[in-house]
Amino acid sequence: MTEMLHDTGEPTAPDPPAPIPSPLTPSQSALVGWFRTLASAAVYATLLVTFVLQVARVEGVSMAPTLDDEDRLIVNKLVYRFAEPQPGDIVMLYYPPEPDKAFVKRIVAKGGDSVRLVDGRVLVNELPLGDGYVLPEYRSHDDWGPHVIPQGYYFVLGDHRNNSSDSRDWGDVPRKYIVGKVQVRWWPIADAAVF
């Protein structure tokens, strides 16, 4: 007995195409997958370091006691794309005389402000700077200024005023030289802090 098929008028689905055989072995496919993952991670890391965050290491004691030699920091490079640096911010900046070097300092005044030091005390617009973070033994006893910071520039000091190369020595820092705001000290872990 022959079985008869009746045309119902409904379209039938075409047969799926035959799979194309891969020219790679399973181990080669795994290597290609790992390579793609590593390449993607490298691209994301590059974008992150270029535009968002940077890891930095403190060299020297110019920011003591706030930051110590060999502290590891995370610098937020994105924050100053949306806001201007402010007095009190601890920043990473390019060293104006040699912009291939980077320093960490504290902004104490911005464009338009007048700065002077009297017996080591900082006056901004003739008002004493609230700088209780400077230990008495780290405070210099020099007189300096007065000096008006030009617009678009910042005046920076180290917290260890007796042992810091800063705007007193090499002048004001242009805005374009400020890399970002020091956001976190992550090493040593016992001294981790958010700024």
Question: So where are the chain's domains?
Answer: 54-194
**Cα(126)–Cα(106) distance, rounded to whole angstroms?**
19
pLDDT in tens, 75-112: 999 999 999 999 999 999 999 999 999 999 999 999 99
Q: Which two tokens stand for residue 9?
A: 């008028």
**pTM for this model (two decimals):** 0.76
145 contact partners, CB below 8 Å, separation of at least 6? 114, 115, 116, 117
- Domain 54-194 = CATH 2.10.109.10: yes
**Cα(187)–Cα(83) distance, rounded to whole angstroms?**
27
Q: Which residue numbers are catalytic? A: 62, 105
**pLDDT for position 143:** 92
124 contact partners, CB below 8 Å, separation of at least 6? 87, 108, 109, 113, 114, 115
Cis peptide before 17 (omega within 30 of 0): no
Find the range with the poorest average confidence among 3-7, 27-31, 40-44, 169-173: 3-7
Q: What is the DSSP letter of 32?
A: H
Reported as a pLDDT band with limits 50, 70 and 90, residue 140 is confident
- 54, β-bridge pairs: 75
Find the range with the poorest average confidence among 54-58, 113-117, 176-180: 54-58
Residue 8 has pLDDT above 60, yes or no: no
pLDDT in tens, 14-66: 777 766 666 778 777 777 677 677 665 555 555 555 556 889 999 999 999 99
CB 108 within 8 A of CB 122: yes
